[in-house]
Structure 1
Amino acid sequence: MFAMSIGSALAIAKKKTEIGVGLLFSSVIIQTFGYGLLFNFSVLMRNLSIIGGLLMLLADSLNASKRTTIYAGLPNINQKDKSIFLLNGEFTVTRVLVIVVSFFSCVMVVIGFKAKYSAWLLIAVLSVGNFLLNNWWSLHHQDHLRDFIKYDFFQTLSIMGGFLLLANIGAGEFSMDEKKKNF
């Protein structure tokens, strides 16, 4: 516990990051062997992802002398790209309405209040948005963006599948809708 606290503090403060990474790495290894979880697949995958993050932190700290910005791992963007990331200030009434309705629908799904109706509403919003924004079929088959947009399309499709499952089965026994039935 002490080594993890010191290692985390050193990594966050960006002072002697190599020592902090070493302490955190040793904590991960000691915990794995100490608790006898070496052959547990889920723990192994979690530890591999933690070690990958620690290696990225180590590489970032070793490369710190060459970096000119104070932000770790963020690319420098020019003014032209910045306007793309800021949506060019195009907040129309429709866009704001869709954002607000989607946000409240997500909150309603999380707390389980009218979750089926909210799931259907989110399915409708995601369907329209997915076909308008992630139209990978309209790109040339050699375009390098096609694979990324195709991935986003099917990722959103899988989220819609989860909402379909929620709309079909319901929110479960801990939802507000179910608590209302018992009250």
Structure 2
Amino acid sequence: MALNLGKAEDVVDEVLRKGKRILPHITRVCLISTFLEDGIRMWVQWSEQREYMDISWGCGWFLATMFVLINFVGQLGGCTMVLLRKHVPIACGILFFIVCLQTVAYSILWDLQFLFRNLALVGALLLVLAESREDEGRGLFAGLPSVGENKPKNYLQLAGRILVVFMFATLLRLEISFMQILQNIVGSVLMVLVTIGYKTKLSASILVVWLLVLNFWMNAWWTIPAYKPMRDFLKYDFFQTLSVIGGLLMVVTQGPGGVSMDEHKKKW
């Protein structure tokens, strides 16, 4: 068993080595995909979104328009900064504000499934923020030896790992079937491993593959006719899940950070 795990970890390391140039870009595109899609949707469905907010909250034309405008500009602007790696902490702050704003505006706070998914999005943003701290450190102290652990970065990675796995809590079902029970057990084990940072790259890689397959299977929005409302729901779920996949890919490429069992094992 240990030998098989070792071989699997070697495969992950080989994939990371060969994809070291392209994987960071794929990771970032996945991470911002839900914000990018939602920002574009705000523009394409400008009138519908404004009308929905006005009817839901009775806030009037002006405030409803401001809500749509903030979501449109904030999400596309934040995505651009993340992709260009410019002012990433500010970009993460903007996107975090958008997540909080939508959580309240769409009453997600009272829907556990959507709330857990939004928490997973926050976790992905924290991982982007952690990576930006590493980039800043390299820029400021390039060529100098490390003078100690980057504790803020380590804690950001820990919080990001914990929140990202909330996505998988939405996949657990209380159904009496072999496949569902197996999915619950395997998913729960992998969630715990990623959370505590043990065999992290391997566990996160398995979750990436698993979530990717489920996403294309369960959220195939392109198979639904454009006039059906279900298309928008599936499309939203698809890109939100893709962002969490990006967060997990960042765990794979960046590692679990200092606050993890993998890191402590190196000191034993």
TM-score (normalizing by structure 1): 0.52
Structure 1 alignment gaps of length 5 or more: 1-40, 57-72, 75-86
**Matches for 1:79-118 after TM superposition, within 5 Å:** 90-118=175-203
2:236 to 143, 151, 165: 151
SS in 2 for 1:182: coil
2:216 to 118, 131, 135: 131
Q: Deviations over 1:108-160 (max 9, x none)?
A: 11110111111011111101111111110110011111111100000001101
Percentage identity across paired residues of the two chains: 40
In 2: Cα distance, 1:171 partner to 1:135 partner: 31
Structure 2 alignment gaps of length 5 or more: 1-92, 112-172
In 2: Cα distance, 1:180 partner to 1:147 partner: 45
Q: Which runs of 4+ in 1 moved over 4 A?
A: none
Aligned to 1:140: 225
Query: Residue type matched to 2:236 in 1?
Result: Y
Flag the structure with more relative contact order, 1 or 2, with Cα contacts below 8 A and sequence separation at least 6.
Answer: 2
Over the aligned positions, Cα root-mean-square deviation in angstroms equals: 2.9
Query: Residue type matched to 1:118 in 2?
Result: S
Query: Residue type matched to 1:174 in 2?
Result: V
* Number of aligned residue pairs: 107
User: Does residue 119 of the first structure (1) align with residue 185 of the second (2)?
Assistant: no
User: How many Å apart are 1:104 and its aligned residue?
Assistant: 1.0
Query: Residue type matched to 1:128 in 2?
Result: V
In 1: Cα distance, 2:238 partner to 2:222 partner: 10
SS in 2 for 1:125: helix
Q: Deviations over 1:150-171 (max 9, x none)?
A: 0000000110111111111110
User: How many Å apart are 1:180 and its aligned residue?
Assistant: 0.5
Higher helix share: 2
SS in 1 for 2:266: helix
**Matches for 1:1-183 after TM superposition, within 5 Å:** 90-183=175-268
